[in-house]
């Protein structure tokens, strides 16, 4: 019997993501001020976003930090995923806005990962600028009706946005 070739993980690690947050509830400056500039990304209550977060994200992945419901709407920096997924404690907290009585602690529905700030961009890359960049026209963020709060970003999109931000390392 032929020996199986050494299993190699897919070559495209780290993967890239975009995380949305309303700065009125948690901004990139809040993250910058947090202990170890790290927080748990809680409150995700959409199954598709949950699946990305729980099943596809890996430690070491990078993500853009996007301010939604804000002025300006913009990508404002980058974070690193620094934990595997674990159950979202806010789902079990009756007093929490994200409390979900249907989520069973023995079989949790909702998950979080820990994210650590890598950098706040010297200036935000606004939605206006993203929209006017031809090579980003396929970006999920910019698609009509796109509401996912955790979404994948391609390596090309990642590079392009960093260039727009005027940074080389993220």
Partner DNA sequence: GCCAACGTTGGC
Binding mask 113-142 for DNA (x = CB under 7 A): --------------x---x-----------
Scanning 45-53, 82-90, 115-123, 154-162 for contacts with DNA by CB under 7 A, the matching segment is 45-53
Least distance (Å) between residue 60 CB and DNA: 25
Span 10-29, contacts to DNA by CB under 7 A: 20, 22
Tokens (6 digits) for 42: 């809680």
* Binding residues with DNA: total (CB under 7 A): 19
Q: Given candidates 27, 46, 83, 119, which one binds DNA under the rule CB under 7 A?
A: 46
DSSP H or E segment with residue 125:
strand 114-126
Residues 62-101: x where in contact with DNA by CB under 7 A, - otherwise, as a string = ------xxx--x----------------------------
Q: How far, in Å, CA of 17 to CA of 19, rounded?
A: 7
d(Cα 129, Cα 118) in Å, to the nearest integer?
22
Give buried/exposed letters for 79-110 (b at 16+ CB in 10 A, else e): bbbeeebebbebbbeeeeebebeebeeeebeb
């Amino acid at each position: 019997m032929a020996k199986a070739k050494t299993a190699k993980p897919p070559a495209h690690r780290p993967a890239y993501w975009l995380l949305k947050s309303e700065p009125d509830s948690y901004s990139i400056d809040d993250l910058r001020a947090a202990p170890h500039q790290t927080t748990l990304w809680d409150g995700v209550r959409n199954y598709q976003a949950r699946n990305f977060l729980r099943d596809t994200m890996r430690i070491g992945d990078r993500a853009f930090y996007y301010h939604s419901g804000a002025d300006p709407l913009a990508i404002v920096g980058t974070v690193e995923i620094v934990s595997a997924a674990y159950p979202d404690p806010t789902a079990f907290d009756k007093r929490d806005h994200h409390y979900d009585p249907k989520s069973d602690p023995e079989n949790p529905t909702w998950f979080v990962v820990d994210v650590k700030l890598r950098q706040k961009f010297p200036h935000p890359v606004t939605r206006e600028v993203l929209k006017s960049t031809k090579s980003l026209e396929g970006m999920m963020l910019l698609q009509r009706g796109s509401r996912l709060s955790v979404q994948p970003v391609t390596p090309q999109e990642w590079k392009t946005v960093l260039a727009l931000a005027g940074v080389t390392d993220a």
